Amino acid sequence: MMSVLANEFTGIYDTTIISKAQTEPFYALKKEVKLIFPKTHLTYKNFIATAIGRLKVYFDLYVILKKSKPDVVITFCSRTNGTVIPLCKLLRIKVIASEHLNYKANSAIRSIAFIKKYIYPFADVLTVLTDRDKDDFYGKYLKNVVVMPNPLPLTPVTNILTEKKRNIILAVGEVSRWEHKGFDSLIKIFSDLAPKYPEWNLEIAGTGDGTYLSNLIAKLNMTSRIILLGEVRNIQDLMQQAKIYALSSRWEGLPMVLIESMSQGLPCIAFDCFTGPRDIITNDVDGILVEDQNMDEFSYRLSSLIASPDLRLRLGYSAIESSKRYDPGDIVAKWQQIIDN
């Protein structure tokens, strides 16, 4: 989202990204976007080295911000917000904190809970992804909270090219985070349906250590039917080739992959997990929303999608229209209003 917003901002503002990643961005940036890396390369050899490294990175950030004197800083994600907000307050720079997880995520981690409760009030604005985040939590103790959906990075298709389609159910996410993404549940659901639909396969795209999932797939004798694709850069083509997108997450923020899939005409089925899917999908209108972690219902509704080309086509075209709510121009206009104010 940082990359998408930075690219969109270039026509309006002088835009710079400060990244502690020390590597070239995975997502393409326009040449107008400046990129700055702190001098310190953070390593995680042991607790002491990590702590010292973090302090050096914080000092690097302080020097960069003091020298560049930006009008506004937008900071992403809880821990980074917790560092950058105090630095900006110290330097008298306006700061917008952008929270990209639901308010319950990582709440058991004391440092994250501290940041959300005691540091976020010092931000000039806090953006959150859903009304539920604002109404149920942040809005109860903060006045400067704005609901800000993520902009869609893909261009919605105009037609669903059925001739390009394969009998693929697609899922996307970091496979090492299988428990968060619910890939174990999805694999079990598909393995039960597989004998009934021998021409269909499940494909999971995403980086990370897939050992656990590979072992589960082998245990279920599904190695020829469930494929771990690894890193996929041209995800748009993959979405256009699949016939169904399945989101099996146990929790989310606002799952962009769901919006992206809908923009490519994919009929989507998702657990109504906390939070996001219900903000994106209207059940049986532009997708299928299943009671959170009800695997039997998910299996039944997925089976109905597989069996009905007409249902897939109807949901797919409605999904394309719904995805246009996340048009980057509209989202950037909301950002521009906050920044200019």
Taking alpha carbons only, the member of 97, 99, 84, 111 closest to residue 137 is 99
Query: Can you tell me the distance from the alpha carbon of 122 to that of 103, in angstroms, rounded to the nearest whole number?
Result: 18
The predicted-structure confidence for 153-162, as pLDDT tens digits, reads as follows 899 999 998 8
Rounded mean pLDDT of the chain?
A: 94
pLDDT of amino acid 50: 81
Query: Model-level pTM greater than 0.75?
Result: yes
CATH architecture under which domain 162-326 falls: 3-Layer(aba) Sandwich (3.40)
* Token pair listed for 254: 């606002």
Q: How confident is the model at residue 149 (pLDDT cuts 50, 70, 90)?
A: very high
The predicted-structure confidence for 275-284, as pLDDT tens digits, reads as follows 999 999 999 9
pLDDT of amino acid 166: 96
Angle at 224 between CA 222 and CA 227, to 5 degrees: 85
Cβ contact 87:71 at 8 Å = no
Burial of 195 (0-12, 13-18, 19+ CB in 10 A): exposed
Sign of CA dihedral 53, 57, 62, 64: positive
Taking alpha carbons only, the member of 77, 62, 78 closest to residue 115 is 78
Same CATH topology for 2-152+327-340 and 162-326: the answer is yes
First to last CA, the chain: 22
Q: Residue 1 corresponds to which amino acid?
A: M
pLDDT of amino acid 114: 94
- Which are the contacts of 193, defined by CB distance < 8 A and separation ≥ 6? 200, 299, 302, 303, 306
Q: Match 């009800």 to its residue by tokens.
A: 294
Cβ contact 124:144 at 8 Å = yes
User: E strands along the chain, which residues?
Assistant: 16-18, 34-36, 72-76, 94-98, 125-128, 145-147, 168-172, 201-205, 226-230, 244-247, 268-271, 288-290
Query: Can you tell me the distance from the alpha carbon of 235 to that of 232, in angstroms, rounded to the nearest whole number?
Result: 6
Cβ contact 58:79 at 8 Å = no
| DSSP letters for 171-221 | EES-GGGHHHHTHHHHHHHHHHHTTT-TT-EEEEE--S--HHHHHHHHHTT
pLDDT of amino acid 282: 97
The predicted-structure confidence for 287-302, as pLDDT tens digits, reads as follows 999 999 999 999 999 9
pLDDT of amino acid 43: 75
- Over 90: is that where the pLDDT of 21 sits? no
Query: Can you tell me the distance from the alpha carbon of 101 to that of 184, in angstroms, rounded to the nearest whole number?
Result: 22
pLDDT of amino acid 27: 84
Q: Would you kindly state where each structural domain of the chain is located, as residue ranges?
A: 2-152+327-340, 162-326
Superfamily of domain 2-152+327-340: Glycogen Phosphorylase B; (3.40.50.2000)
* Token pair listed for 62: 């302080």
pLDDT of amino acid 46: 82
The predicted-structure confidence for 185-219, as pLDDT tens digits, reads as follows 999 999 999 999 999 999 999 999 999 999 999 99
Cβ contact 268:201 at 8 Å = no
